[in-house]
Structure formats: C-alpha cells, structure tokens
Amino acid sequence: MKPPPVHSVLTAAEMREVDRRTIEMGIPGIVLMENAGHRVVEFLVERFAPLSEHRIAVLCGKGNNGGDGLVVARQLYTRFRPGALHVVLLADPQELKGDAAANYRMLQACGCPVSREIPQEAHYATLLLDALLGTGISGPATGRMLEAIREINRGFPLAKVVAVDIPSGMPSDSGEPVGEFARADATVTFTAAKVGQVLAPNCDYVGELVVAPIGSPNSLFDGIPLSLLMPEMFRTLLAPRPSGGHKGTFGHVLVVAGSQGKTGAAAMAGLGALRSGAGLVTVASSADAIPQIAAHAPELMTAPFEGTGLERLAEGKTVIAMGPGLGRTREIEAMVATAVREFDQLMVLDADALVPEAFPSGTDDRFLSSAGRLTDDKKRSSVPPTRVLTPHPGEMSRLTGKSTVEIQKDRVQAARAFATERHVTLVLKGQRTVIAFPDGRAWINPTGTPAMGKGGSGDILTGLISGFLAQFPEDPDRAVAGAVYLHGLAGQIGARALGEKGLLATDLLRYLPDAMEQATAAAWRSFSL
C-alpha cells in the first residue's frame, strides 16, 4: 500500500528545476506540454460535458503557457468539435519558440483557425481557457497581456473561466498581487500547487484548484518544505477502527480550561475531543465551573482544579489541552510553563495558555535536553515531546512581539520561524491556516470559511487536535493537520446549510461527521495500489 502522499507547493524556480530534471531524465518537454493540455481537457470533460454544446474561447500567449493552450485547442478541435471554438493567439507566431512553436504548427496542420485578436462573437463564450501567462512572469502584466486580462475579467459575462496552470498575471511566489490578474472559476495547475495559488488573498481568485500530474517523478519533490493539505494525506486517520477497539484504545484527553463565565470554552474543547474520536475526555476547571461544564454533555468527565495538583490529574492521560477560557494570571502562566517544561504527554496550548515565557528559543537547555519528568529514552534522544500551539494572529503577536501586520504579511515565514526557533508545532489560524513544524516544514490548509469567525471556533479546534493526537500519538503531524483540515471542512459544509452569518461554533461539531465522510470518500478515490 502506498504511504499517504504529501502535496508539495513550489515556487517558480522550484517548478523550473523539476521540469528541467524531468526532461533530463528522459521525458521530452513536448510530452510534458501534451500531458498538460490533456489534463486540462480531462477536467473540462468531467465538469462541463457535453463540450459539443459549448462555445469555447482559448486565449494563448507566446510562452509555454500559451503552448499548453494550443494543445488544449487542438484536442478540443480534433476530438470534441464544440459548438464554436475561438482560438486566439495574442502574439506574432514568429515569437513562438520551441515546444510552443511546434504545437502551433500542429494546430495549423489540423486545420483549426487561429485569430490574432479576440473576435466579437467570442465574448459570448460559455467556457474560456486562460493560457496567456504562466509562472514565469515577473512583475505586473503590461501591454496586450494586461488588456487581455481585463477582457477576461469584464468581457465574457457568460463564461466559466478555467486557468491553465495559473491565472494570468498572478504572482507564483507570493499571495500579494503585484498588478492585475485574471479571475478564474477553476485552475488546473501542473505537477504541484504554486505558492501564490494557495496563499491569501490570491487564493480567493484561483477558484477550484486541481493539481494535475504530467509525468514528473515523485522523487523530484523530496526536500520541498511547503505542502498543501489534501484529504488523501489522512487516509490512516479516517480508516475504520479495529474491531477490538475500546475506550482505552483511543486515548484519554485532559482539558484544563474554563473559569466562571467562560465555562462554554472548556465544554466546547472537551466536546471537540470527544467528537473527533478520543476514547475518554476529562475537563479540569474551577470547582464552581464544574456543574455548568458537566451540564453540556454527560459523556464529559470532570475534575475540580484550582491551579495546583496538575501533575496528579495528568497521570494516565495521553494528551493535555490547556488554555480555552482559563484566565490569565501569574499563577496560570507559571503552571503552563512548568507543564510545558516537565510533562512528557503531548500538549495542545491555546488562548490563555499561550504564554511567551513557556516557549524559549532553541538555545534554552529546557528544550535541548528534555529535562524534568521525561523518560530516560526521551532524554537520550534529546527530542522534546510534541507541543502544539494554536494562536490567531493577535495571539501570535503576543508570542513574538511582532505586530499583526508583520505576521500577516508573511504568515508562512512567521509560523516557520517560531516553530523552528522554539521547537514546537505551530498552528497559525486564519485564512489559509499554516501548520509549521520544528524541522522547517510548513503545511497550508485550504479549508475554512469566514462563517467560522465566531467565538468558540478556536476552542473546538483545540478539542479536535487533542482528540486526534490521543488516537494517533505515533503520527502527531498528520493528526494535527487532519484536525485542522476537518475543522475547516465542517465549517464549509455548515455554512452551506446554515449560511455564513448563521453558523455557530457548536455547529462545527454537528457537521464534523459529514466532513469526515466527505474527506474519507475523497481520500480513497485518489488511492490506488
């Protein structure tokens, strides 16, 4: 059985290197271009059949992206004979080089007419293929390409826009636009997602992102530090449970959270851990908060906790989650710092447990020697136990001393720097949540919705991460990522049912089973022996 894949996210330079090495290994560039065009046509057939009923416009530039578009045009012309096909080359054919020039000659040999300007009747197209500019662009689009991009965005009122590899004009290496770019309903990108396609705000204009393989060997992606979460990464997490499993098999989560007036935060974190599949969940909180927490669900066990005795409560627990509604006092900050330093359980820390002093830089001996109560094996390995931090940008600002503007400007780098320096797993929440690991890897989550911008959503996430870690302590990276992905997907499903304004944090628990079912189906569709 294949291991769950990791979907790399590449810069333009990394993509060029993958293509170069693929060609060097024996797969000609013209074959890669043919495969790219074929993947786009496959997508069109899947989403828009029968193509014979469509008026289709294919807009091509002079580079390899335009060459991909010429392949698409040839296959549409020879195989599907759409109701009308307008192929437009917005360049002098003499400017075409290499594989793009070869594909132009092949399109001519097939008898397909090619225009140099966009004809008026093309504006009535129901499908528009954008193959003007690819990942090689640097700086903003100008001249004819800029005019054509504006035409795509304003001049085709009936058309669904499908971008070939990347919407024209969109920067490949950044989520920050540098000029005008095409807005797509779907993007078929080749080999791997590109950085600019998966980061906000660009990701809002990519539409449905389809990553299509065109022949590059998987070995060429070794060492790529940035990846996009996809459901097939979580097959093992979503697989059926063993028939002999029982509550002791699936871990015990201790949630240290809540205080008077904030009992809901503790209850939501506990319910999140239960709903995600943890076998047992104990919520520890102040004695006067316990009756209200227990009233939320009879399945939650509770324990009074007044800031001391955490070591006793932690005995026998698989995961410790701390922070939601806990309150911020010096005593709590000291307790969190001690627990982080001395406990050997996996820990998830959110909200009031995000104490800067608890996470010193990597030069601190507390992280390098794994001191305190850690087992002899862990002392010998010098690998600290997993600590998962889940800040939103404001909390990240408090942890780092940087402004939220600085953090939001480069979320991946902000998360990666903190994770590597402090030897933690960092979940930087927000649009396109970033998960960064101590070894420098970073994963980007594509799920989520503005509907989740409600109090309590983060408490639910704390519970989900804790529950998955309790079930899969041997695979903490994917456990964290699976929880983040499903949390966002449950929000999307719930928002479709209840509307973006009507979704509540507790509705995420209601739609989590649907998210698991949808992700499971997607994961196994992509699986083959």
pLDDT of residue 376: 47
Same domain for 274 and 220? no
pLDDT in tens, 323-335: 999 998 999 999 9
Is pLDDT of 2 > 70?
no
Considering the domain architecture, whether residues 197 and 253 belong to the same structural domain is answered as no
Taking every pair of Cα atoms in the chain, the longest distance, rounded to a whole number of angstroms, is: 82
DSSP letters along 294-338, please? Answer: HHH-TT-EEEE-SSS-HHHHHTT-SEEEE-TT----HHHHHHHHH
Q: Is residue 2 part of a domain?
A: no
Q: What is the mean pLDDT of residues 74-100?
A: 95
* H or E stretch covering 12: helix 12-24
Number of domains in the chain: 2
Please indicate, yes or no, if residue 366 is contained in any of the structural domains: yes
Q: Mean pLDDT, the chain, as a whole number?
A: 92
Average pLDDT over residues 205-227: 92
Under a CB-based contact definition with an 8 Å cutoff, are residues 30 and 246 in contact? Answer: no
Q: What is the pTM of this model?
A: 0.89
242 & 121 share domain: no
Q: Answer whether 281's CB lies under 8 Å from 299's CB.
A: yes
Same-domain check for residues 213 and 297: no
d(CA 174, CA 36): 23
What's the mean pLDDT in 65-86? 94
Specify whether 241 is located in the same domain as 148.
Answer: no
Please say which residue of 228, 250, 265 terminates a domain: 228
Q: Which of 176, 207, 228 is the last residue of a domain?
A: 228
Dist CA 458 CA 460 (whole Å):
5
Domain for residue 415, yes or no? yes
Residue 1 located in a structural domain: no
Q: 402 and 257: one domain?
A: yes
Closest to 216 (Cα-Cα) out of 208, 206, 224: 224
Beta strand segments in 323-411, E: 346-349, 387-389
Q: Which of 182, 206, 228 is the last residue of a domain?
A: 228
pLDDT score for 468: 98
Pairwise pLDDT comparison (407 vs 308), residue with the higher score: 407
| Crossing angle (nearest 10°) for helices 29-48 and 64-75 | 50
Do 76 and 158 lie in one domain? The reply is yes
Same domain, 173 and 321: no
- At 367, the pLDDT band (50, 70, 90 cuts) reads very low
- Residues 408-459 pLDDT 10s: 999 999 999 999 999 999 999 999 999 999 999 999 999 999 999 999 999 9
pLDDT band at 526 (very low <50, low <70, confident <90, very high): low
Among 489, 478, 476, 480, smallest CA distance to 446 is for: 489
Q: Domain containing 242: what range? A: 234-525
Looking at residue 27, its pLDDT comes to 97
Q: Are residues 222 and 267 in the same domain?
A: no
Provide the CATH number for the domain around residue 188.
Answer: 3.40.50.10260
Query: In this structure, what CATH number is given to the domain that contains residue 508?
Result: 3.40.1190.20
Identify the residue whose tokens are 């690998």: 383
* Residue at 198: amino acid letter: V
Task: Determine the Cα–Cα distance for residues 367 and 290; give it in Å rounded to an integer.
Answer: 34
Residues 263 and 162 in one domain: no
> Does some domain include residue 183?
yes
Are 216 and 301 members of one domain? no
